[in-house]
Amino acid sequence: MNLWPEETAARYRASGYWRGQTFGALLTSLKEAYADRTAVVGEDQRWTFAELDERAHRLAAGFVAGGIKQGDRVVVQLPNVPEFVSVVFGLWRAGAVPVFALPAHRDSELRHFVEQSEAQAIITVGEHAGHNHAKMAREVAKGKVFVVGEPEFAELAATEPCELPEPDPEGMAFLQLSGGSTGLPKLIPRTHDDYLYSVRESARICGLKKESVYLAALPVAHNFPLSSPGLLGALHAGAATVMAPRPDADTAFRLIEAEGVTISGVVPPLAAAWVQAAARTGRDLSSLEVLLVGGAKCGRELAERIGPALGCQLQQVFGMAEGLVCYTRLDDPDDLVLSTQGRPISPDDEVRVVNPDDPLAKSDRVVEPGEIGALLTRGPYTIRGYYNADEHNKTAFTEDGFYRTGDLVRQRESGHLEVVGRAKEQINRGGEKVAAEEVENHLMAHPGVLDAAVVAVPDEYLGERTCAYVVPVEGNQPSAAELRRFMRGRGIAAFKVPDLVEVVGEFPVTGVGKTSKRELRAALAALAKER
Ligand code: J2J
Mean pLDDT in runs of 10 for the chain (531 residues)? 90 98 98 98 97 98 96 98 98 98 97 97 97 98 96 96 96 94 89 98 98 98 98 98 98 98 98 97 97 98 98 98 98 98 98 81 85 97 97 94 96 98 93 95 96 93 94 92 96 96 84 70 82 71
CATH second-level architecture of 426-530? Answer: 2-Layer Sandwich (3.30)
Distance (Å) from CA 369 to ligand 1 centroid? 23
Q: Report the pLDDT value the prediction gives residue 525, as an integer from 0 to 100.
A: 84
- DSSP code for 383: -
What distance in Å separates the CA atoms of residue 473 and residue 91, rounded to the nearest whole number?
49
Strand partners, 421: 408
In three-state secondary structure terms, 126 is coil
CB of residue 320 inside a 6 A radius of ligand 1: yes
Ligand 1: residue whose CA is nearest its atom 33: 320
Using CB atoms within 10 A of its CB, is residue 50 exposed (0-12), middle (13-18) or buried (19+)?
Answer: middle
Q: Report the pLDDT value the prediction gives residue 305, as an integer from 0 to 100.
A: 98
Using CB atoms within 10 A of its CB, is residue 481 exposed (0-12), middle (13-18) or buried (19+)?
Answer: exposed
What distance in Å separates the CA atoms of residue 425 and residue 276, rounded to the nearest whole number?
32
Which is the closest atom of ligand 1 to the Cα of 317?
A: 14
Which is the closest atom of ligand 1 to the Cα of 422?
A: 27
Q: Report the pLDDT value the prediction gives residue 184, as an integer from 0 to 100.
A: 84
CATH second-level architecture of 255-424? Answer: 3-Layer(aba) Sandwich (3.40)
Burial 354-366 (b: 16+ CB within 10 A, else e): bbbeeeeeeebee
CB of residue 321 inside a 6 A radius of ligand 1: yes
- To test the pocket of ligand 1, the residue of 231, 320, 339 to mutate (highest count of ligand atoms within 8 Å of its CB) is 320
Q: Report the pLDDT value the prediction gives residue 512, as an integer from 0 to 100.
A: 59
CB of residue 396 inside a 6 A radius of ligand 1: no
Using CB atoms within 10 A of its CB, is residue 452 exposed (0-12), middle (13-18) or buried (19+)?
Answer: buried
What distance in Å separates the CA atoms of residue 309 and residue 277, rounded to the nearest whole number?
9
Q: How far is CA 471 from CA 211, 500, 523, in A?
A: 57, 14, 16
CB of residue 419 inside a 6 A radius of ligand 1: yes
CATH second-level architecture of 20-245? Answer: 3-Layer(aba) Sandwich (3.40)
Which is the closest atom of ligand 1 to the Cα of 341?
A: 14
Using CB atoms within 10 A of its CB, is residue 300 exposed (0-12), middle (13-18) or buried (19+)?
Answer: exposed
Structural domain boundaries of the chain?
A: 20-245, 255-424, 426-530
What distance in Å separates the CA atoms of residue 170 and residue 30, rounded to the nearest whole number?
20
Ligand 1: residue whose CA is nearest its atom 31: 295
Ligand 1: residue whose CA is nearest its atom 5: 295
Q: Report the pLDDT value the prediction gives residue 513, as an integer from 0 to 100.
A: 54
Task: Confirm whether 20-245 and 255-424 share one CATH topology.
Answer: yes
Task: Strand 46-48: give its sheet, edge to edge.
Answer: 46-48, 38-41, 240-243, 213-216, 263-266, 290-294, 313-320, 323-327, 343-344
Which is the closest atom of ligand 1 to the Cα of 433?
A: 30
Q: Report the pLDDT value the prediction gives residue 190, as an integer from 0 to 100.
A: 98
Do 109 and 493 form a contact (C-beta atoms < 8 A)? yes
Q: Report the pLDDT value the prediction gives residue 309, as an integer from 0 to 100.
A: 98
Do 183 and 435 form a contact (C-beta atoms < 8 A)? yes
Amino acid at site 183:
G
Using CB atoms within 10 A of its CB, is residue 416 exposed (0-12), middle (13-18) or buried (19+)?
Answer: buried
What distance in Å separates the CA atoms of residue 425 and residue 179, rounded to the nearest whole number?
11
Burial 13-48 (b: 16+ CB within 10 A, else e): eeeebbeebbbbbbbbebbeebeeebbbbbeeeebb
Ligand 1: residue whose CA is nearest its atom 25: 295
- To test the pocket of ligand 1, the residue of 318, 416, 424, 429 to mutate (highest count of ligand atoms within 8 Å of its CB) is 318
Ligand 1: residue whose CA is nearest its atom 16: 224
What distance in Å separates the CA atoms of residue 115 and residue 63, rounded to the nearest whole number?
21
Largest Cα separation within the chain, whole Å, is: 71
What distance in Å separates the CA atoms of residue 250 and residue 104, rounded to the nearest whole number?
21
Distance (Å) from CA 455 to ligand 1 centroid? 19
Q: How far is CA 165 from CA 193, 251, 434, 481, in A?
A: 17, 41, 39, 55
Closest CA to 202 of 228, 226, 238: 228
Strand partners, 241: 40, 214
CB of residue 224 inside a 6 A radius of ligand 1: yes
Global confidence as pTM:
0.97
